[in-house]
């Protein structure tokens, strides 16, 4: 499983989500998208565009996820340094690894990170 995790502001656009994903490495090989359950509706346009399912996550599953980057605001709110990175890791399952740090869209409204799950 290869998961693109997202964090984004409520005003983000499909173009910003696409830009963040492109900057994170692109959608090739990605099998799922992931974000916090409360933000899932904002990810639906990208889900439809790419034809990929969205994994929705409860906030507590992000807590303590090790991330490559750290936003102090996100850490205070969610107990992890990056929603995008933590969502990708949590959705990809135990032993998943990030391909790299989160990427930020040019307009700053969306972040994306890609994680690869362990093959079984």
Q: In the chain, what are the domain boundaries? A: 2-116
Q: Is the pLDDT of residue 78 over 90?
A: no
Which residues 6+ apart lie within 8 Å of 20 measured at CB? 6, 8, 84, 103, 104, 105, 110, 111, 112
Q: What is the CATH number of domain 2-116?
A: 3.30.420.180
Q: Which two tokens stand for residue 97?
A: 């690894």
83 in Cβ contact with 111 (< 8 Å): yes
Q: Report residue 75's pLDDT band, with 50, 70 and 90 as the boundaries.
A: confident
What average pLDDT does this structure show over 96-107? 96
Task: Tell me what percent of the residues of the chain surpass a pLDDT of 70.
Answer: 98
Higher pLDDT, 81 or 10: 10
């Amino acid at each position: 499983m290869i998961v693109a995790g997202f964090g984004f502001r409520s005003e983000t656009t499909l173009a910003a989500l696409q830009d963040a994903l492109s900057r994170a490495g692109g959608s090739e090989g990605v099998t799922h998208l992931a974000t916090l359950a409360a933000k899932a509706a904002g990810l639906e346009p990208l889900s439809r565009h790419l034809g990929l399912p969205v994994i929705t996550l409860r906030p507590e599953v992000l807590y303590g996820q090790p991330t490559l980057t750290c936003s102090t605001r996100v850490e205070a709110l969610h107990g992890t340094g990056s929603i995008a990175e933590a969502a990708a890791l949590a959705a990809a399952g135990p032993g998943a690894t990030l391909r790299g740090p989160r990427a930020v869209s040019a307009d700053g409204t969306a972040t994306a990170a890609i994680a690869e799950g362990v093959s079984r």
